[in-house]
């Protein structure tokens, strides 16, 4: 009986057991794959949503106001709000009073120094004050003009770089790159139009059970994180530009004492924050422009059997390049300020330290 069991029944039981395990495993994989596909589609939709938010806060999208498309970006729209103008006028009134005080202090210093070296005579102080008054007169116009100019530049950059990229999004590219090898027939129509959003259609056209789920989900989450970080950087940029605009008269008011050094620092910082938007915009558009070439099926590398991993590395590295290029143009224009922004020195600490230092110097002049 033992010999019969081992030679006849045991192989049959093993075969039946293997069939059952395989069947149960396939059922579990199919069930989990459906869940994974739903999660992945949701993440891809979030990627496309984040991409749209990226274009809005970067200033590349023209806003619709009262149902009509305007020629304004988000920055121009915020600058046109009454609250921003009222805050600027209030700071301007305070700055004019401060300008009178700093002029009076500078005249007293000149009078006190007249018996000695008299490095800055009263005529030079009054000349600087006149320059301060002229700066007050043109400051608002100059700021608005600079913002409008940079907004139009960004809109034109978006128009020319996006001329051939309207049909597909970053979510389309991610889906098509990772899923096309598992397609059942011709699936090139899934490369654009967010057709991945139809889960039932994806199940029919692709062998979704054998998608590289870990790679798909991890790569998509990474792209989401990069886009979110870039969006937060753009929102911070918007706030910093508005803050710099509102407090700009305070730096002008100190010109009689430091001959415009504080104002020059403000001007460099203001221009740097305007220019800082160009780098990630250009990088993002070029990245989306180049991605289809990386997905070309005719592109192969000797010795590499699976190009999907090469393309995946390119996507992750390119997305990280978008985030890391945020201060590229600033470094070209002002390397010192670019290094400070990279070091997370923060505009708040820069402005706060400057205002505090100048205030303490003014107090020391009064108490001498």
Residues recorded for the chain: 368
* Model confidence at 240: pLDDT above 50: yes
* Model confidence at 365: pLDDT above 50: no
Question: What mean pLDDT do residues 235-255 have?
Answer: 88
Question: What mean pLDDT do residues 309-333 have?
Answer: 76
* Model confidence at 137: pLDDT above 60: yes
Number of domain units in the chain: 1
Dist CA 75 CA 158 (whole Å): 15
pLDDT at 42: 92
- Strand 64-65 versus strand 68-69 pairing type: antiparallel
Residue that wins the pLDDT comparison between 28 and 236:
236
Closest CA to 150 of 88, 235, 79, 49: 79
| pTM for this entry | 0.73
pLDDT at 332: 73
| pLDDT (tens digit per residue) in 195-225 | 888 888 888 888 888 888 888 888 888 888 8
* Model confidence at 18: pLDDT above 80: no
* Model confidence at 359: pLDDT above 50: no
Angle CA 225–194–31, to nearest 5: 80
Closest CA to 51 of 271, 342, 366, 319: 319
Across 6-10, 221-225, 244-248, least confident range: 6-10
Residue that wins the pLDDT comparison between 156 and 201:
201
Residue that wins the pLDDT comparison between 98 and 69:
98
pLDDT at 46: 92
Residue that wins the pLDDT comparison between 252 and 260:
252
Which structural domain range is residue 347 located in? Answer: 2-367
| pLDDT (tens digit per residue) in 77-95 | 888 888 888 999 999 999 8
């Amino acid at each position: 009986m033992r010999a019969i069991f081992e030679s006849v029944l045991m192989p049959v039981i093993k075969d039946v057991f293997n069939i059952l395990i395989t069947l149960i495993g396939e059922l579990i994989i199919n069930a989990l794959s459906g869940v994974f596909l739903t999660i992945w589609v949701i993440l891809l939709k979030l990627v496309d949503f984040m991409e749209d938010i990226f274009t809005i806060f970067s200033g590349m999208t023209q806003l619709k106001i009262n149902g009509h498309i305007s020629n304004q970006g988000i920055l121009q729209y915020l600058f046109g709000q009454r609250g921003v103008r009222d805050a600027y006028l209030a700071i301007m009134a305070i700055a004019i009073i401060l300008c009178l005080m700093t002029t009076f202090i500078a005249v007293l210093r000149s009078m006190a120094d007249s018996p000695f070296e008299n490095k800055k005579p009263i005529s030079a102080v009054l000349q600087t004050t006149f320059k301060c008054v002229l700066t007050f007169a043109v400051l608002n116009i100059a700021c608005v003009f600079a913002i409008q100019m940079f907004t139009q530049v960004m809109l034109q950059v978006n128009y020319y770089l996006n001329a051939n990229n309207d049909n597909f999004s970053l979510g389309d590219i991610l889906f098509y790159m990772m899923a096309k090898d598992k397609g059942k027939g011709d699936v090139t129509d899934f490369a654009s139009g967010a057709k991945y959003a139809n889960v039932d259609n994806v199940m029919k056209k692709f062998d979704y059970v054998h998608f590289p789920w870990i790679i798909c989900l991890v790569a998509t989450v990474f792209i989401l994180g990069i886009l979110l970080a870039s969006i937060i950087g753009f929102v911070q940029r918007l706030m910093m530009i508005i803050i710099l605009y509102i407090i700009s008269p305070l730096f002008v008011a100190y010109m009689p004492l430091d001959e415009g050094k504080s104002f020059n620092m403000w001007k460099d910082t203001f221009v740097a924050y305007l220019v800082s938007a160009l780098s990630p915009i250009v990088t993002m558009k070029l990245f989306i422009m180049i991605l289809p070439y990386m997905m070309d099926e005719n592109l192969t590398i000797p010795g590499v059997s699976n190009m999907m991993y090469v393309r995946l590395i390119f996507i992750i590295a390119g997305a990280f390049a978008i985030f890391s290029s945020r201060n590229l143009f600033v470094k070209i224009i002002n390397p010192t300020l670019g290094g400070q922004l990279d070091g997370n020195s923060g505009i708040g600490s820069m402005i706060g330290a400057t205002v505090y230092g100048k205030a303490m110097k003014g107090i020391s002049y009064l108490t001498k």
